[in-house]
């Protein structure tokens, strides 16, 4: 029986395709009303579904958010940088949803202090991913998943 | 009016001649370096060419090249103080005159006047003139009226702008350009180096509204022109396209700033702007210098970058608006009502409670599958 990991994604990237989609080996890419469905197949039995949520101000889109976010292990924020707008958005998100989140930022290779290994900010929710590397996002996702399970184990203790 | 072409590395020399000797019936024009000047000489056809160079060796090379060009136009060499042998060398090459600077201005004036020759086109028809401001600027024309001691009106036109200067017996008495003060009108028209002019002689005694005499007016105009040149030197090139920053709040501005900046909204050059601007240019040019420092006027690259940034902020604010809307709607729907909510701290607690009540619960519970995914992703890596 196949297993699916569903991750809602809220993005504020300049070029979603270039900075996120193209760094995945996408097996399915379909747009629906309210969201875009990107499937990454790990193997024949496991897939990751990224739900890129639309940002329209309508009731239908709002309901998509309410249906996907609470059921996901965490939400992914894809942003260029953490600025005032992003912080506001995160604050509002935290007030509305109990679902934890991670922030993924495509890192600029021209910045010398970022190594090829995925670096993590002091903020444990922030990860950088290499959008030019094949499946760069997936490697970052793996790190985020590990941290997520570690956190959960600590809470359970 | 004779044309004297100035050839030099430094355009300041041309401005100096204009500034100090502009009252002579001479039209100074700027030829640039020798190579450029030789190309333009057949078109400009000056009466005299002034070769100005502080470096004697280069000056002699220019003279040799000028002679080879066979323009048949007399040339005057201008340099620093030269010893007798060097002066003789230039004389032998055929220089019409030799100016060694520094030189007393009166002496320079006297020596230049000797090249002016006699005016052969005197006569009653001479004063009914029309022509281009590229050939004769306002100061030249004022001199012409003064010399002829004439009564009449000098009309000038640049683009859609039209002005007039009234003379009584060769003296300026009034000027009109839109609603400007007469002296201001003359100063603005003095900076018109493109356009056309025509004269209209009459016997009318025009009303005197300017108290300065011609010489003083010309000095004011020269000061104005110089100031404009200095300000233009601090601005980007006149033909460079500049744009008003896309995030300017025009409503917050005064009318002058607003009117000027709106002219740059879709891109404009300083040259085109000045050609069409009828108000006094000096204050606006000063403001432009400040606007460039403040980022109100941008070059094309900076403008496009700013547009992109604003677009991004707009999109981000779109998310914020949407999320605010979502949150506000949900909070309003389900917020419990408390009858005794008069004090602010109580109100705050109530709001917090309302938020937690409306917060969407965390429903994910398939933690075991996450371990499987982690393992599968590790194998993939």
State how far the Cα of A77 lies from the Cα of A16, in Å rounded to an integer.
12
State how far the Cα of B19 lies from the Cα of A157, in Å rounded to an integer.
89
pLDDT tops 70 at residue B367:
yes
**Contact residues, chain B, for A93 at CB < 8 Å:** 323
Q: Which of B317, B359, B371 sits opposite A97 (nearest CB)?
A: B359
Nearest to A27 by CA among A50, A5, A7: A50
Q: Is residue B121 part of a domain?
A: no
Domain final position from B207, B229, B251: B229
Considering its fold, how many domains does chain B have in total?
Answer: 2
Strand pairing of A101-106 and A75-79? parallel
Q: What's the pLDDT at A109?
A: 47
CA-nearest residue to A140 within chain B is: B377
Backbone angles phi, psi at A71, to 5 degrees: -90, -10
Q: Is residue B325 part of a domain?
A: no
Which residue range forms the structural domain that includes residue B84? 2-113
pLDDT tops 70 at residue A157:
no
Count Cβ atoms below 10 Å from residue B28 Cβ, excluding itself: 23
Nearest 10 degrees: CA dihedral of B45, B47, B52, B56?
Answer: 100
Q: What's the pLDDT at A1?
A: 56
Q: Is B152 left (phi over 0), alpha (psi -120 to 50) or beta?
A: left
**Contact residues, chain B, for A55 at CB < 8 Å:** 315, 318-319, 322
- pLDDT per residue over A111-139, tens digit each? 444 443 343 445 678 888 887 777 788 88
Q: Is residue B194 part of a domain?
A: yes
For residue B284, CA distances in Å to A5, B92, B232, B239, B270 come to 63, 51, 11, 17, 11
| Angle value at C-alpha B161, between B214 and B231, nearest 5 degrees | 65
Q: What's the pLDDT at B327?
A: 57
Specify whether B46 is located in the same domain as B95. yes
Kindly write down the DSSP assignment for every residue of B40-81, as one continuous string: HHHHH--SEEEEE-S-HHHHHHHHHHHHHHT----EEEEES-
Quickly state the pLDDT bin for B337 (edges 50, 70, 90).
very low
CA-nearest residue to B365 within chain A is: A73
pLDDT tops 60 at residue A23:
yes
- For residue B232, the Cα-to-chain-centroid distance in whole angstroms is 5
Q: What is the DSSP letter of B25?
A: S
Query: Which residue, among A10, A39, A141, A142, would best test binding to B if mutated, counting the most B CBs under 10 Å from its CB?
Result: A142
CA-nearest residue to A13 within chain B is: B312
Specify whether B43 is located in the same domain as B89. yes
pLDDT tops 50 at residue A45:
yes
CA-nearest residue to A53 within chain B is: B319
Q: What's the pLDDT at B281?
A: 80
Q: Is residue B82 part of a domain?
A: yes
Report the CATH number that the domain containing residue B11 is assigned in CATH.
Answer: 3.40.50.2300
State how far the Cα of B124 lies from the Cα of B146, in Å rounded to an integer.
15
pLDDT tops 90 at residue A6:
yes
Q: How far is B314 from chain A (nearest CA, A)?
A: 11
Domain final position from B194, B213, B229: B229
Contact B369 A85 (CB under 8 A): no
Q: What's the pLDDT at B174?
A: 92
Alpha-carbon torsion A90, A91, A92, A95, what sign?
A: positive
Which domains are present in chain A?
A: 3-156 (3.40.50.300)
ipTM: 0.85
Mean pLDDT is lowest, of A33-37, A111-115, B345-349, for A111-115
Quickly state the pLDDT bin for B108 (edges 50, 70, 90).
confident
Kindly write down the DSSP assignment for every residue of chain A, as one continuous string: --EEEEEEEEEE-S-HHHHTGGGS-EEEEEEETTEEEEEEESSSSEEEEEEEE---SSHHHHHHHHHHTTTSS-EEEEESS--HHHHHHHHHHHHHB-S-EEEEEEPPTT-TT--SSPPB-SSTTEEEE-TTSTTHHHHHHHHHHHHHHHHHHHHH-
Q: Is residue B301 part of a domain?
A: no
Kindly write down the DSSP assignment for every residue of B117-168, as one continuous string: ------SGGGGS-EEETTTS-HHHHHHHHHHHT--EEEEEEETTEEEEEEEE
Q: Is residue B340 part of a domain?
A: no
Q: Is residue B191 part of a domain?
A: yes
CB B74 within 8 A of CB B62: no
**Contact residues, chain B, for A5 at CB < 8 Å:** 369-370, 373
Whose structure tokens read 């949150």? B327
Whose structure tokens read 């006699």? B118
**Contact residues, chain A, for B322 at CB < 8 Å:** 55-57, 61-62
**Contact residues, chain B, for A73 at CB < 8 Å:** 364, 366-367, 370
Whose structure tokens read 């097996």? A27
Specify whether B81 is located in the same domain as B14. yes
Specify whether B67 is located in the same domain as B26. yes
Quickly state the pLDDT bin for B358 (edges 50, 70, 90).
low
Domain final position from B229, B245, B272: B229
Contact B369 A3 (CB under 8 A): yes
Q: Which of A86, A95, A145 sits opposite B359 (nearest CB)?
A: A95
Helix (H) or strand (E) holding B83: none
Q: To the nearest whole number, what is the mean pLDDT of chain A?
A: 82
Specify whether B103 is located in the same domain as B131. no
CA-nearest residue to A10 within chain B is: B319
Specify whether B96 is located in the same domain as B132. no
Strand pairing of B161-168 and B171-177? antiparallel
Q: What is the DSSP letter of B252?
A: G
Specify whether B157 is located in the same domain as B107. no
Count Cβ atoms below 10 Å from residue B313 Cβ, excluding itself: 13
- For residue B339, the Cα-to-chain-centroid distance in whole angstroms is 69
**Contact residues, chain A, for B319 at CB < 8 Å:** 10, 12, 55, 85, 89
CA-nearest residue to B308 within chain A is: A14
Q: How far is B310 from chain A (nearest CA, A)?
A: 12
Specify whether B32 is located in the same domain as B81. yes
pLDDT tops 70 at residue B117:
no
Quickly state the pLDDT bin for B342 (edges 50, 70, 90).
very low
Query: Which residue, among A59, A66, A70, would best test binding to B if mutated, counting the most B CBs under 10 Å from its CB?
Result: A70
Residues 340-379 of B with CB under 8 A from A: 355, 358-364, 366-367, 369-374, 376-378
Specify whether B172 is located in the same domain as B216. yes
Q: Is residue B46 part of a domain?
A: yes
Specify whether B22 is located in the same domain as B108. yes
Quickly state the pLDDT bin for B356 (edges 50, 70, 90).
low
Specify whether B137 is located in the same domain as B197. yes
CB A58 within 8 A of CB B323: no
Quickly state the pLDDT bin for B229 (edges 50, 70, 90).
confident
Contact B326 A100 (CB under 8 A): no
Helix (H) or strand (E) holding B322: helix B300-334
Specify whether B108 is located in the same domain as B14. yes
């Amino acid at each position: 029986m196949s297993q699916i990991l569903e991750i809602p994604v809220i993005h504020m990237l300049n070029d979603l395709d270039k900075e996120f989609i193209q760094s995945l080996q996408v097996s399915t890419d379909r747009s629906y009303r309210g969201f875009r469905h990107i499937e990454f197949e790990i193997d024949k039995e496991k897939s990751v579904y990224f739900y890129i949520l639309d940002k329209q101000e309508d009731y239908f889109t709002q309901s998509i958010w309410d249906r996907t976010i609470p059921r996901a292990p965490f939400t992914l924020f894809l942003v260029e940088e953490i600025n005032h707008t992003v912080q506001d958005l995160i604050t509002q998100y935290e007030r509305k949803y109990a679902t934890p989140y991670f922030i993924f930022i495509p890192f600029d290779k021209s910045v010398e202090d970022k190594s090829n290994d995925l670096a993590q900010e002091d903020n444990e929710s922030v990860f950088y991913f290499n959008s030019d590397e094949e499946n760069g996002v997936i490697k970052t996702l793996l790190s985020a998943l590990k941290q997520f399970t570690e956190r959960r184990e600590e809470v359970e203790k | 009016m004779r044309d004297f072409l100035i050839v030099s590395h430094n355009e300041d020399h041309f401005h100096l001649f204009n500034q100090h000797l502009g009252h002579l019936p001479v039209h100074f024009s700027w030829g640039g370096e020798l190579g450029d000047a030789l190309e333009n000489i057949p078109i400009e056809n000056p009466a005299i060419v002034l070769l100005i160079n502080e470096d004697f060796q280069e000056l002699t090379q220019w003279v040799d090249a000028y002679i080879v060009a066979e323009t048949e136009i007399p040339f005057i060499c201008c340099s620093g103080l030269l010893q007798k042998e060097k002066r003789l060398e230039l004389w032998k090459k055929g220089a019409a005159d030799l100016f060694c600077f520094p030189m007393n201005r009166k002496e320079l004036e006297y020596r230049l006047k000797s090249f002016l020759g006699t005016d052969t086109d005197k006569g009653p028809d001479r004063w009914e003139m029309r022509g281009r401001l590229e050939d004769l600027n306002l100061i030249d024309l004022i001199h012409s009226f003064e010399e002829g001691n004439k009564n009449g009106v000098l009309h000038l036109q640049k683009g859609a702008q039209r002005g007039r200067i009234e003379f009584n017996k060769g003296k300026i008495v009034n000027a009109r350009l839109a609603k400007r003060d007469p002296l201001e009108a003359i100063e603005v028209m003095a900076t018109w180096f493109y356009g056309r002019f025509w004269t209209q002689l009459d016997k009318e005694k025009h009303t005197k509204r300017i108290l300065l005499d011609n010489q003083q007016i010309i000095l004011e105009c020269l000061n104005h022109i110089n100031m404009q040149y200095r300000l233009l030197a601090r601005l980007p090139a006149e033909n460079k396209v500049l744009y008003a920053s896309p995030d300017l709040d025009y409503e917050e501005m005064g009318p002058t700033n607003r009117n000027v900046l709106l002219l740059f909204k879709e891109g404009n050059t300083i040259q085109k702007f000045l050609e069409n601007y009828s108000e006094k240019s000096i204050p606006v040019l000063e403001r432009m210098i400040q606007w460039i420092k403040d980022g109100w006027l941008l070059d094309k690259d900076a403008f496009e970058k700013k547009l992109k940034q604003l677009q991004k902020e707009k999109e981000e604010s779109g998310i914020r608006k949407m999320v605010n809307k979502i949150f506000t709607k949900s909070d309003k729907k389900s917020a419990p009502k408390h009858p005794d909510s008069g004090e602010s701290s109580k109100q705050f607690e109530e709001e917090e409670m309302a938020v937690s009540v409306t917060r969407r619960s965390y429903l994910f519970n398939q933690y075991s599958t996450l371990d499987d995914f982690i393992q599968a992703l590790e194998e993939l890596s």
